Every structure is written in C-alpha cells, then in structure tokens.
C-alpha cells in the first residue's frame, strides 16, 4: 500500500494534536495537552480510487522555546498549516512557518486549517480580509473544528487528493505511457 508522509505545523495550542485525534480516533478532549517533540499517527483512506496510508507527523507547536526543525519535513508529501481562529497571532505564526517550510519542501501541496471554527460566533478574531489575502496567495483554506469534526475529514481528504494529483502531474511521461 502507498504511504504518504504529511506534517501538521503551527503555533502552540492551535489544536494540531486535537485535529489528528479527531481524524484518526474520532475523539476530542477539551483540555490542552502540549506536544513535545513529534507524534506519528497512521490513517488509511481511499483517495482517487487508491488506498493510501497517511503517516501523520504531529510536530510540537512553535513558541519562543520551540522552533520548527525543518529536517522533520524530510520526505513530506504535503502539510497542513494550522492556525487558531480565536488567536490572530497564530495566523501570523502559521504564515511564517509556511514560508520556512516551503524553503525546505519546495512546491508540495498544503492546506491552511483555521481551527476552533465552533467558536466563530463568540470569539472569532480572524478577519475576512486576512482569509482573502491567504486565498489570493494561492492557499486553500478550510475552517475546521476538532471539537465538532467540521472540516477535519475534508482537510485530510483534500490534502491527500492534492498530493496524488500533484504527483501524477509531475510523473515522467514514460511512467504514464507504461501505466
């Protein structure tokens, strides 16, 4: 079976681990548990008619004490940049981490997940202009909620689909003719 490595990047406490927990185990916990180092989970899915195993690398969130270790991105097929819709600062961190990741990974597919969308009515701080600016720069943005599950499946499915599409576009002509 084909395995694809994807990474979740973002500031601390934006809900990266919660998104993975929701997607892989369909569970959610309210309490914040910080991630130290890397946790890797697996999830099987079908995309473009193909069975895929996603190796999901949940990287510790970035703060003043923890920076992105770009070598963790080695062999990555795509990544999810996670920001917290209730914390505008996390969106800036996400954009900066994306730029840093891009330098290492090159042009691999990515999705921007703006998490905690269940708090859109009460505590949402991300302005429509910020989202539009991101979309204008070519980013695909999905509003997610690890709590309710909204947008979570869609994020990983779309990223996997984009990875497969991008790989088939980059496939050498001989491979296509022989397939």
Q: What residues make contact with another protein under the rule CB under 8 A?
A: 5, 12-13, 32-34, 36-40, 55, 61, 63-66, 69, 71-72, 74-75, 87-89, 125
Q: Would you say 15 and 90 are in contact if contact means Cβ atoms under 8 Å apart?
A: no
Closest approach of another protein to the CB of residue 37, in Å: 3
Q: How many residues does the chain have?
A: 179
CA 59 to chain centre: 11
Identity of the residue, 5 or 147, whose beta carbon is nearer to another protein in the bound complex: 5
Identity of the residue, 54 or 158, whose beta carbon is nearer to another protein in the bound complex: 54
DSSP structure string for 63-103: SSS----GGGGTT-SEEEEEEETT-HHHHHHHHHHHHHHHH
Cα angle 149, 78, 152; round to 5: 5
Closest approach of another protein to the CB of residue 1, in Å: 14
CA distances from 74 to 15, 25, 85, 91 (A): 23, 26, 28, 24
Identity of the residue, 74 or 99, whose beta carbon is nearer to another protein in the bound complex: 74
Identity of the residue, 72 or 110, whose beta carbon is nearer to another protein in the bound complex: 72
Closest approach of another protein to the CB of residue 72, in Å: 7
Closest approach of another protein to the CB of residue 125, in Å: 7
Closest approach of another protein to the CB of residue 126, in Å: 12
Identity of the residue, 4 or 147, whose beta carbon is nearer to another protein in the bound complex: 4
Which residue, chain included where needed, has tokens 């890797």? 40
């Amino acid at each position: 079976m084909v395995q694809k490595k994807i990474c979740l990047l973002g500031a601390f406490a934006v809900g990266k681990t919660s998104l993975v927990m929701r997607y892989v185990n369909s569970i959610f916990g309210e309490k914040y548990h910080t991630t130290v180092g890397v946790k890797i989970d697996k999830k099987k899915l079908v995309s473009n008619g193909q069975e895929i195993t996603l190796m999901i690398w949940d990287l510790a969130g970035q703060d003043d004490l923890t920076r992105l270790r770009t070598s963790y991105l080695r062999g990555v097929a795509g990544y999810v940049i996670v920001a917290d819709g209730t914390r505008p600062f996390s969106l800036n961190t996400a954009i900066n981490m994306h730029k840093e990741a891009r330098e290492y990974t090159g042009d691999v597919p990515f999705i921007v997940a703006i998490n905690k969308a269940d708090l859109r009515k009460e505590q949402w701080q991300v302005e429509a202009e910020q989202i539009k600016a991101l979309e204008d720069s070519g980013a695909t943005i999905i509003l997610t909620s690890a709590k309710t599950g909204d947008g979570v499946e869609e994020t990983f499915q779309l990223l996997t689909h984009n990875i497969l599409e991008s790989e088939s576009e980059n496939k050498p002509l001989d491979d296509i003719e022989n397939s």
